[in-house]
Structure 1
């Protein structure tokens, strides 16, 4: 990758290589501190200023709008007039706005003539840039004045800063991002390159000259920057405390950041001397309804959809019918961010600093408990009623988006509402069981069950979720105990349909355990036939075939599993349970028929990929690995095993009995055949994302290993090409998310798709692919 380009070299086609010489007008202010990073932003805004006559920099309080605008103006191309700065922060009367412009531009007022007429006349021949700073508190007056001047002064260009757009014809609104953040687990080198870290270190050294970032403190600095959302003002205020507090103490104090982050420069505007003052400035400009919505949205953690805002936030001045409009106002005023402008349904979020401010306000109003309850009840309604928690991919994706909100609701409900807490913990348990964070799910659900709750159906559901979590951890006795409690409750309720499904779950967790599942299988089969439920009968036959496979009764297992698959297909169900295909594949492998096993295993894996069943995908990967080995691809088999092991390690799960038996059949043979290559292949597989691992396992056996690089002729979508080029430019996932105005998770999903299509493993491989196409990177790392 070429060496990073400096700003003047990079922007040579946009700006001169040297700042313009001094002009005979009031000069722009010069800052004593060094301008940190943002070379791409400087170039992009510079291009906008060159093409558009009105550019408005918007962004949250403390995001550095003013400093960026002044730096853009300083590097702007030389023109006859300007650049000049009009500062509005101290102006409180809209009627004085023309006077502020005239004073800043050194235009004398003419007696008995409206100053606006004089201003318009004098600027009619003006050729240059005017920076208008802090428009938000006079936004309507600013819009009218700027619109009039632009219409009558053809050589004028305006670069405004505001926490909301002016909404003037021809305006280009550009949101100033927060500083780039180091990713979790980033290397020392990458951590030190993040703009937020560079700013922290720079400002820390101003108060503690000996401060250095080292391998031992880099993680703490990165954590502080992440907790402060990369917000420049907040980072500067935190860094100023390095002279008196160690980094651990600073991190702890951020729990009360508005009390802690004070003591800005005495020469700074009053609103920038404390974090609270910066946010107060924005909050005070809101209407009563906007304030109420802002406060109530703070109960959401990690993001929300408009439907959630409608369900949780109405009351007082906030009408249900007004929620979307008010939400739009908060987005315009940089207090809420649209996470992904493409995804449906669209999600929104608040910077954590703004969210903490909202929580403080709603607590002071005495309404936190009201809206925290609404928030928890909304999440409870999203999870929906469930018998055994095997909802489809849509449910899983919806709940995965709400993980942070579910954790927040669980924390609140634990001491507020025992029944609501148990319902949430049960739903979260099912989510964890399918998404791969097994230990966390059990940590929430087990104590919730011990505290109990009202309603036998709820207790049955919670016990069943606990049974599967325990089974995932190979705690077969615990799984049997919880599932047996669920069956007992269902018997007492006298509901044969739910009893049949619950008995089936008991049979499932007993397969491979210490208790025989046979009686439970027979009872489920009897109930299914009596009720005429084909899917239940198919599930019972699946359990019977699995039990027989473990007992090595392979011919009967093959027969019953084939009957199960046929019944599922005949039942009209949209998705055949992938476990049927997987166990069928394993039985065929044990019968030494790998070619016949392969399509069944692939079918199950594809279903799990589509449904985002990350942890269940491990079983399909294990079967795929054995298929690859038996078909003469041992190195490929070790890579797939490495991917499966890595997923299980992150999830806190262990191989099932069938998976363990499969490994005993082939792993040692592969290791003997490959020697040291076996370990290298296993490591390579462990670095694959779940999606990339699944795609690799499904690919033809002769496909190159994921690390060999992609075909330059491979076609990516337009957005995937954008992401690939930004990766090649050296941007982190956070930086790409800001640049494309999408969420970090969306960027990660695009990267998974890119790596899958290219058959590569790392960001370096993606960058090499971009280079092989001879497509220049969209940006260069500063």
Structure 2
């Protein structure tokens, strides 16, 4: 039976009718249509199973009436001989067999005077030949347009590319209900296919969490979702999720009508593997040791060796991106690459079979241990970049730390965990930091300054987590070991942290003596970070112990030193401490100005928790003194959320906790218990960005229970809508940052949040959304 026999009714062509419903992809459909209106060759790229073919079919069906001479489809998935390409396409067009031989010009004659769309599906194994054919046809046939699907571009002149991404999935912290979960296209597809497999399937309160987790586990891949839904014939949704640890075994039994390579997930990835060269396969398997993505320097360092020289890695990475094995993403000026989890698992199997896994895991651990050491050494001078890289690499850091604490040696594991100290306490990953440090320290004693550092970092984290006695014990061990070693600047951190324990307890005379000892050692050694820390806590302790103005000189000296060095974090902490002392002195205007300057760190160091939580608390006290009660209560709630995120509370800082208690008592008395609790609860519901907008008075104070400056139909915050408007104007992330006077990383974070909330994949889609919602 010829393709024309099974074609859908309508204008000429051979496009088959859809046999299953098309779910989602509204923005992608619009994007392809727009590209076809301006470009004569449009290529849809993306990994196998992402839905390129379905998208091409849907767009072609919608455009069928726009092409008076039809939409013509040639399926090339099973073709491997480029010599048969023209013959295969001609046969798909229904041309007589005798005219369909290669080089006959039959295709050119067919399309020469036709206004038509030619769809070439699954071209990846024939890319050079398809490129030559497309170029020839477009030159000879002025009214022809071509739409191709392939895992790598054709790379010919005039080609417009659209990378098809996996479907949006619920964020890990998203609150989903049976009514809202199908707004995520991955969940909508699963529910649609599930209802076909198991009539009567519905989303309930009970199975909604499992559905959300399943979509995340399958990474929004349409083929994997459809294969998983087919398992509902014999398994519950929860059982499918539990069995996903062996994806290749579970995700089988696709439709019999699908090509063999799409009937199981394993076969689909085998197809991609077969399309790669030996060098590309080697790199693919070695890249499987990474988790959560990687940057090029990591691939060059970890994956080179043997037949892969460091110089070849860049070109091989580019080839794997072209073949849609690697997915390229941008983080401002930084480019990252990631493997979908199913592709990573496949590569790991190949790496084990090659006997290379242990060696690659060790190299991976060494790279990230060195990354941590470089970040620690550059902390004072390059904080935003150090913290960005640590946060981006969190999944890799965990994998590398696990290897370090299980394979050793102890000194490497202890140094690695301790060198990440800024990541642990600035980002608020206190509990995780303690976990890794305890495991590293438990590996055994090493008579080295490395162990001293690990002990004192662990002591500080335990103190911040409300366990000062444990912190003191760790410091005792650190000091005993330090006394057996040659002198080092590391000695000065021991009295500094002991002084912090005294400061937290409100024991200011003892704290002042210890801080004096610490600062003398840091100044003698020229250790600027330790000196700044000492100046901040020395000034704060003096101001809390007596007249607030007594602490101003050290705090201003710390601020000046930080500004001279380009340091961000201690400058922010010093501004917070200054605001507290100015508030105690009754200078509310100056206290507000200092607190605002402290919050500026959030515009430069994304996701910072500690100093932001402290500053929101201080601004709540200022608002209480000003009689702005609802604002004060909401800021208290926002600060509480920050502390909860760090798995600790303000109670660890007892001398400060008293000011918190006094503020709460005043507000509760003036507002009444119910109104106070409602306002605090509203504050705990604010996102960090919303809380900072409130603190800086960028938004009006939201009524209890109501989103800040947001209508029920608008998922964006006021700042996100402002960024979306600039996106719609075509501004780059750098331009948006300059326009809003924020760090570029902050602008990039807003863009990522906007895309995630709206379920979009490109900036052009944001512009279209804004046009529909303004």
Give the TM-score, by structure 2 length.
Answer: 0.86
Whole-Å Cα distance in 2 between the matches of residues 438 and 148 of structure 1?
A: 62
**Correspondence for 2:322:** 332
- Residues 361 and 723 of structure 1: CA distance in aligned 2, closer, same or farther (over 3 Å): farther
- Does residue 759 of structure 2 align to residue 720 of structure 1? no
Residue among 234, 241, 245 paired with 1:251: 241
Which shows bigger deviation, 442-451 or 518-527? 518-527
**Correspondence for 1:750:** 750
Q: Note the alpha carbon deviations across 1:13-60, whole angstroms, 9 max, x for none.
A: xxxxxx9843565x3222322222223322321232233221111111
Whole-Å Cα distance in 1 between the matches of residues 514 and 719 of structure 2?
A: 52
- Residues 488 and 599 of structure 1: CA distance in aligned 2, closer, same or farther (over 3 Å): farther
**Correspondence for 1:94:** 82
The 3-state SS of whatever aligns with 1:346 is strand
**Correspondence for 2:499:** 507
Residue among 661, 664, 667 paired with 2:661: 664
Cα deviation, residue 440, structure 1: 2.1
- Does residue 44 of structure 2 align to residue 57 of structure 1? yes
**Correspondence for 1:687:** 685
- Residues 725 and 488 of structure 1: CA distance in aligned 2, closer, same or farther (over 3 Å): farther
Whole-Å Cα distance in 2 between the matches of residues 453 and 116 of structure 1?
A: 79
Q: Note the alpha carbon deviations across 1:654-696, whole angstroms, 9 max, x for none.
A: 1022431221222211122223432332233222232432343
How many residue pairs end up in the alignment? 723
Q: Note the alpha carbon deviations across 1:290-348, whole angstroms, 9 max, x for none.
A: 111111222211111111111111123322112222111111111111122x6122112
Whole-Å Cα distance in 1 between the matches of residues 100 and 373 of structure 2?
A: 71
**Correspondence for 2:629:** 634
- Residues 668 and 317 of structure 1: CA distance in aligned 2, closer, same or farther (over 3 Å): same
Whole-Å Cα distance in 2 between the matches of residues 670 and 332 of structure 1?
A: 60
Whole-Å Cα distance in 2 between the matches of residues 702 and 106 of structure 1?
A: 67
- Does residue 597 of structure 2 align to residue 597 of structure 1? no
**Correspondence for 2:220:** 230
Q: Note the alpha carbon deviations across 1:149-193, whole angstroms, 9 max, x for none.
A: 111112222111111111122111211222222233332222122
Whole-Å Cα distance in 1 between the matches of residues 386 and 99 of structure 2?
A: 71
Describe how 1:352-751 pairs up with structure 2 within 5 A. 352-384=341-373, 386=376, 392-419=383-410, 420-452=412-444, 454=446, 456-513=448-505, 516-517=510-511, 519-527=513-521, 539-540=533-534, 542-550=536-544, 553-555=545-547, 558-566=549-557, 569=560, 572-575=564-567, 577-607=571-601, 609-612=603-606, 613-655=608-650, 656-675=653-672, 676-699=674-697, 707-708=708-709, 720-721=724-725, 749-750=749-750
**Correspondence for 1:12:** none
Cα deviation, residue 586, structure 1: 2.3
CA contact (8 A) 1:388 1:502 kept: no
- Residues 717 and 372 of structure 1: CA distance in aligned 2, closer, same or farther (over 3 Å): same
Whole-Å Cα distance in 1 between the matches of residues 242 and 753 of structure 2?
A: 38
**Correspondence for 2:18:** 31
CA contact (8 A) 2:11 2:64 kept: no
Cα deviation, residue 525, structure 1: 4.6
Cα deviation, residue 725, structure 1: 11
Cα deviation, residue 410, structure 1: 2.0
Whole-Å Cα distance in 2 between the matches of residues 388 and 355 of structure 1?
A: 32
CA contact (8 A) 2:505 2:655 kept: no
CA contact (8 A) 1:89 1:133 kept: yes
Q: Note the alpha carbon deviations across 1:459-518, whole angstroms, 9 max, x for none.
A: 112112211211111111112222333333333323243212332122223323498435
Cα deviation, residue 544, structure 1: 4.1
Residue among 97, 101, 122 paired with 1:134: 122
The 3-state SS of whatever aligns with 1:179 is coil
Q: Note the alpha carbon deviations across 1:224-271, whole angstroms, 9 max, x for none.
A: 111111111111111111121222321122111112211112221110
The 3-state SS of whatever aligns with 1:76 is helix
- Does residue 172 of structure 2 align to residue 181 of structure 1? no
CA contact (8 A) 2:45 2:163 kept: yes
Whole-Å Cα distance in 2 between the matches of residues 704 and 199 of structure 1?
A: 36
Q: Note the alpha carbon deviations across 1:197-235, whole angstroms, 9 max, x for none.
A: 122122223332232221110110111111111111111
- Does residue 199 of structure 2 align to residue 206 of structure 1? no
- Residues 348 and 752 of structure 1: CA distance in aligned 2, closer, same or farther (over 3 Å): closer
CA contact (8 A) 1:538 1:563 kept: no
Whole-Å Cα distance in 2 between the matches of residues 88 and 158 of structure 1?
A: 14
Whole-Å Cα distance in 2 between the matches of residues 113 and 535 of structure 1?
A: 75
Whole-Å Cα distance in 2 between the matches of residues 777 and 641 of structure 1?
A: 34
CA contact (8 A) 1:128 1:157 kept: yes
**Correspondence for 2:159:** 171
**Correspondence for 1:769:** none
- Residues 702 and 58 of structure 1: CA distance in aligned 2, closer, same or farther (over 3 Å): closer
**Correspondence for 1:758:** none
CA contact (8 A) 1:476 1:514 kept: no
- Does residue 335 of structure 2 align to residue 346 of structure 1? yes
TM-align CA RMSD: 3.4
- Residues 215 and 709 of structure 1: CA distance in aligned 2, closer, same or farther (over 3 Å): closer
Cα deviation, residue 643, structure 1: 0.8
Q: Note the alpha carbon deviations across 1:605-630, whole angstroms, 9 max, x for none.
A: 33465344322221111111111221
- Residues 231 and 100 of structure 1: CA distance in aligned 2, closer, same or farther (over 3 Å): same
**Correspondence for 1:9:** none
Q: Note the alpha carbon deviations across 1:54-95, whole angstroms, 9 max, x for none.
A: 111111111111122122222214233221211111212111
Whole-Å Cα distance in 2 between the matches of residues 364 and 285 of structure 1?
A: 19
CA contact (8 A) 1:689 1:752 kept: no
Which shows bigger deviation, 202-211 or 324-333? 202-211
The 3-state SS of whatever aligns with 1:338 is strand
Cα deviation, residue 778, structure 1: 4.0
Whole-Å Cα distance in 1 between the matches of residues 385 and 129 of structure 2?
A: 48
Cα deviation, residue 407, structure 1: 1.3
- Does residue 269 of structure 2 align to residue 279 of structure 1? yes
Cα deviation, residue 537, structure 1: 6.1
The 3-state SS of whatever aligns with 1:466 is helix
Whole-Å Cα distance in 2 between the matches of residues 361 and 747 of structure 1?
A: 40
**Correspondence for 2:734:** none
Whole-Å Cα distance in 1 between the matches of residues 719 and 599 of structure 2?
A: 24
CA contact (8 A) 1:467 1:483 kept: yes
Cα deviation, residue 700, structure 1: 8.1
